[in-house]
Amino acid sequence: MSHQLTFADSEFSSKRRQTRKEIFLSRMEQILPWQNMVEVIEPFYPKAGNGRRPYPLETMLRIHCMQHWYNLSDGAMEDALYEIASMRLFARLSLDSALPDRTTIMNFRHLLEQHQLARQLFKTINRWLAEAGVMMTQGTLVDAKSGLTHSLVTTAANEHDLNQPGNLLHGEEQFVSADAGYQVAPQREELAEVDVDWLIAERPGKVRTLKQHPRKNKTAINIEYMKASIRARVEHPFRIIKRQFGFVKARYKGLLKNDNQLAMLFTLANLFRADQMIRQWERSH
């Protein structure tokens, strides 16, 4: 059977509906501040004249973003550029010319890791969102109203979460909300002088006791529900990177590489969340 397109196929290709992938990439095309992101990487990106001519920086950045949106390895990303026209067009590439191979894609990722550029992109995007009035600046980890991530710390799996609150508090908080694992946080030496209200969840055993019927003290369990509703905001960015972007486990060995990936994921998650808020506003007006 011939694989040549018929006239009917050619006509349909211009009239068919947009796929979900095309719609998503079109939205990301509009929301991402490409120039701001390119300016962060450009001082470190190879220049023409030193060996093989590099691909355009924005093209490689677009490919890197698609890797995170669709949880693709370097090899899978190379295959996708050949097989999926919408991804190829988003990267501003054509089959008429050479496409980046997996080694080129990997080298771009290594460039970001070497200079910790994903962290700089995270800060640049957050500053851009704050200037646009999307991100409020008084929050610490996650903005309670918008669900945008302000900061992140990547640690080894064997390090306790209690070691990090001192690095995350900026001193202007009115209260700190945390789960039951932070029960002893107010007694730690580095947090002893922090003047905030600690809204820390009770231990699961005590919560189960409060839920038993007949409930003699409904106020206590309602307070726990209130604490949980506040903490739930912190989980929303994880829903985006886990369920929307498909990130379920660390892909690389080493803290530096995984920190680079997480910083990029949360950068893109903030932009994805900003796009959601814009569309919600458009529907309500």
pLDDT of residue 120: 97
Task: List, in order, residues 6 or more apart from 239 with CB less than 8 Å away.
Answer: none
pLDDT of residue 2: 43
- Average pLDDT value for residue range 41-70: 92
pLDDT grade for 1, boundaries at 50, 70 and 90:
very low
Domains in the chain: boundaries? 7-115, 137-253
Q: Where are the alpha helices (DSSP H) in 70-183?
A: 74-83, 85-90, 102-114, 117-131, 165-168
In angstroms, the CA 11 to CA 143 distance is 48
pLDDT tens-digit readout, 153-191: 888 888 888 888 877 777 777 888 888 888 888 888 888
pLDDT of residue 143: 59
pLDDT tens-digit readout, 221-279: 898 899 888 888 788 889 999 999 999 998 899 999 999 999 999 999 999 999 998 88
pTM score: 0.84
pLDDT tens-digit readout, 94-103: 888 899 999 9
Distance of CA 206 to the CA centre of its chain: 35
pLDDT grade for 139, boundaries at 50, 70 and 90:
very low
pLDDT tens-digit readout, 63-77: 999 999 999 999 999
What is the token pair recorded at 140?
């610490």
In 3-state terms, the chain is what percent helix, strand and coil (to 5)? 60, 5, 40
